[in-house]
Amino acid sequence: MERHNGVIIEIEEEALGVLVSGEEDFVFHAVHPAVQRLHGKRFADGVAARREAMKAFRSAA
């Protein structure tokens, strides 16, 4: 069985999505409408995912 670990990405106590680690990368699962364009996008690391989620959230405001 394959095991995945997830981390919630949030800004200002607002959940944006869940970042799930895979074998070689991380997949972003959006939960906030402002970041839906990132849903399913793969990232090399959590820092890049958080940066993109924050940019998307701020640009939607």
pLDDT digits (tens, 9 = 90+) for 11-48: 888 999 999 998 899 999 999 999 999 999 999 999 99
Q: CA-CA distance, 6 to 60, in Å (whole number)?
A: 25
Please give the order of strands across the beta sheet that includes 6-11: 6-11, 14-21, 26-30, 42-43
Q: CA-CA distance, 52 to 36, in Å (whole number)?
A: 12
Residue 60 sits at φ, ψ, to 5 deg, of: -80, -20
* DSSP label of 10: E
Residue 2 confidence (pLDDT) above 80: no
- Of 1, 40, 44, nearest to 17 by C-alpha is 40
Residue 4 confidence (pLDDT) above 90: no
